[in-house]
A and B are shown apart, each in its own frame.
Chain A
Amino acid sequence: MVNELTATHQPVYDSDRQVSHALSELNDLKQYHYLLKQLVRRDILTRYKRSVLGVAWTMLNPLGTMLILSFVFSEIFKAEQFYSVYVLTGIIAWNFFSQATHAAMAGLVWGGSLMKQIYLPRTIFGISAIGTALVNLVLSLVPLMLVILITRAPLYWTWVFVPVSILFLLCFTLGFGLMLSTLAIYFPDVVEMYQIVLAAWFYLTPIVYPETIVPERYLGLFKLNPMYHFVKLFRLPIREGVAPSFSDILPAAIWGIVVLVAGWLFFTSKSDEYAYRV
């Protein structure tokens, strides 16, 4: 037994001094960074624990989807050069978003039983969901690289911009995931409903089809979709070899930061209710 007793005269917890949830949450997260690491580790280890190939599935999954989509659509979108790279970049960005937002909701529901018993920073399940999805995203860059080499698509120096693309996508995903989790706690139906929304959203984003097939008059409407900008920002440096310009980055940055701040404030403003609701 290790003695961790410390003499404290100041209260460790004082209900009168809980001022701003949005800020105190950040402070608490710093203390729980080890839990964050443990949760991500758990999610990655357990997802494929009983399978023979294990974590390799993280890479095989997007590869499989890409193969199917390439097989089905490559004839139709013949004009699109290196269609498989086009599809795979889209899928990787999309998978990050859809997995992380879904896991954020599910994680909060799982963590609900814990949050009734012990204090935990409430955002930790959303953030760990992002962490897991980020590891998956980085791992799936390996098969992407392979596909580029096999199809002899060019490998560009502009890959160095990929972290920037990931950063803004990450902000957006976390903010959106927090908003969804808050809703899901009030209305469990949201979890089911979101599956349908995701399916529609997937096809409204140019992932399997080239942007050029969208009729001119709908293009303005089309660009209201935040995922359009994130997928584009991800694809530009990898597939087109173009360093993203200011006008490419701006919409993604605005969407990312605004949704993150809004999601954070919304989530933390309701976080006192979770223990009553979950």
Chain B
Amino acid sequence: MSDQNLAAKEFVPMIQLENVSVRYRVPTERIGTFKEFAIRLIQRKVNFRYFWALDGINLTVKKGEVFGLIGNNGAGKSTTLKVISRVLGPTKGRVRVYGKIAPLLELGAGFHSELTGRENIYLNGALLGYGHEQMNRVFQNIVDFSELGPFIDAPIRTYSSGMYARLGFSVATAHQPEILILDEILSVGDEAFQAKCRDRMRDFRENGATILMVSHGMKTMEEMCDRVGWIDHGKLRMIGEPAEVVAAYRQENS
């Protein structure tokens, strides 16, 4: 890697959140039918409770960085990932992303159980925004990495959940991503496969990918991240060295 690249690694922002807030509108009671809705509309009784899932988040993730988010359940970690991956628009503030995002889907999401492993690879790749040619190029790599060679033409309803997970991980990480989003996924497969996953993460990182991860596994976070942010009740409480942030978080939550 040239000096120029190293310098760029320090300064190029990949994800920028400026004062980002997300407000969820929660109906105080669930209105599921037309009749109820019509009655309430007339009575002007459609009540909502507003709830700020994110509140003024400022965050810049640099190119080549492995950034971790920690926090209790419901603190806003997943909402942050959603805002970054364009699933949700921010209610206030501005989100800028300077690269293609490869999110890792939840176990089995985007698979069709009647289709074969081969067919699902192409379907899943298409969902992640890749074209036919791009998938052709990485197809063999996916099959090899997932170790599903003998089963690739069987419908995936015959797969075990571990096989599902391996296939999903292999598809999502088949292309060197610019930004990889991992939401609590690194516990895929057996130990040997997990080691392979870590190797692949390391390769990505060395090739300049930015990784954003969410996990409750504090040990993983300390080991893998360059920086960690702690989100608490929609606010960014602390950001910095993994060991420090994890320690502060542990202290409050023990």
A residues with CB within 8 A of B: 1-6, 8-16, 18, 31-32, 34-35, 37-39, 42, 45-46, 49-50, 113-120, 187-190, 193, 272, 275-276
Contact = CB atoms under 8 A, between A and B. Distances in A.
Nearest to A48: B114
Contact of A117 (B83, B105, B129, B175): B105
B126 A5 contact: no
Contact of A8 (B33, B82, B99, B141): B99
Interface stretch (B90-98, B211-219, B238-246): B90-98
Interface residues of B, number: 57
Contacts of B110: 114
A203 to B, nearest CB: 23
B53 to A, nearest CB: 10
- Most A CB within 10 A of own CB, among B82, B83, B88, B126: B126
Interface string B30-43: 00111001000000
Interface stretch (B130-138, B146-154, B229-237): B130-138
Contacts of B155: 49
11 contacts: A1-B141, A1-B176, A3-B207, A5-B178, A12-B99, A42-B115, A49-B155, A114-B109, A116-B82, A118-B87, A193-B34
Interface of B: 24-25, 32-34, 37, 82-83, 85-90, 93-101, 103, 105-106, 109-110, 112, 114-115, 119, 122-123, 126-132, 134, 137-138, 141, 155, 174-178, 183, 200, 203, 207-209
B25 A35 contact: no
Contact of A46 (B105, B114, B122): B114
A45 B114 CA distance: 9
Contacts of B128: 118
